[in-house]
Chain A
Amino acid sequence: MNDDVIICRCEDVTYDEIVRAVRDGLTTTEEIKRILRCGMGPCQGRTCSRIIARIIAQETGTPVAEIEQPRVRPPTRPVEIGVLARGRNGTEAGGDHED
């Protein structure tokens, strides 16, 4: 595979960037997601996460079946804020918060 081929199409992450991350010690899909952003875009890793698992397997010698996929977080597909806002129930929201 060419080093500059794009693996994560949402965030433009290349094969070479992922290989370098694994060689730097990021050996799980969760860690690679957090540092390189692959899987954080609109497709939420549907396209790239299996390819990333194969790259980790190839670089570390771990069987690909043993490499965990990143946790799937809601919503299942991107939803507009205006649509979700209309689904709000209950009373006027207030509340504490931090940042």
Chain B
Amino acid sequence: MGSISLQHVKKSFGEVQIIPDISLDIKDGEFVVFVGPSGCGKSTLLRLIAGLEDTTSGTILLDGQDMTKAPPARRGLAMVFQSYALYPHMTVRDNIAFPLKMAKAPKEVIDQKVEYAARTLNLSSYLDRRPRALSGGQRQRVAIGRAIVREPKAFLFDEPLSNLDAALRVNMRLEITELHQQLKTTMIYVTHDQVEAMTMADRIVVLNAGNVEQFGSPLDLYKKPANRFVAGFIGSPRMNFVDGPEAAKHNAHSIGVRPEHFKLSRDPLANAWKGKVGVAEQLGSDTFLHVHVEGLGLMTIRTDGDQTFSHGDDVYLMPDPTRIYRFDAAGIAL
């Protein structure tokens, strides 16, 4: 239970086509992340699965059943919204119990399930508070609790961490991943943050302008990007791209090298790119160098944190030849 299948799903708002044609198969128990730049249609896709938007054409199957026209409540999915969408006039307990109450569950069952959810999410001591009196992370957990008690076929997360501060985001990321290990329920998670995608997902769907650019495991996407968009989107800092004669040497229209796949030297190297250090970002564990390479433009290089470079230093860059990605004129990987 919990497999989701999209078959030639299309969505347009009036004249504007948001999703031209998407087919996806999500297996039971999988943690799938939809990632892409803002406006790529990832939230719309999630809302189509949830039933909050009508599908223009195509079929949505949940557990092999056609649910394209079914109302949200009948689909048996639970959603965690970006704003958490907690009910402000209800206590945490009532918030979590709401879906059960709507399903007319007996009172003992409701109490038992709410207690269980509260224990799982460390909310037991907050059950009688209103959402207003909770911190961002706690609200987030209440929203998840409300989703858990329904025992849905799948969880849908719509950028749930974007309202939290950086430290809390890392924490909640772990908690959600752990929750997935524990529940083994299918989860679909929408984010624009590729770090969240890489760290949480079993498989990632990279979306761009309503199209699936690539669907695969995080390391697949990192190691074998299908095209230039995926190569540029996955990995932080971004991959460096080089066009023109330098790319032609590798029989490609353009080539890409990740910041971590350079050999860096202060002394001249044979066939290396010569450049000047612009900004050096010292993170302690790593150092990111922005190097102006003559004729090729700005390159980002990742090196270990013990290296100290300063503005204007001359450096030589040697891309790891086994890790150069080659792309044709259309941006497809060669």
Q: Do A and B come from one complex?
A: no
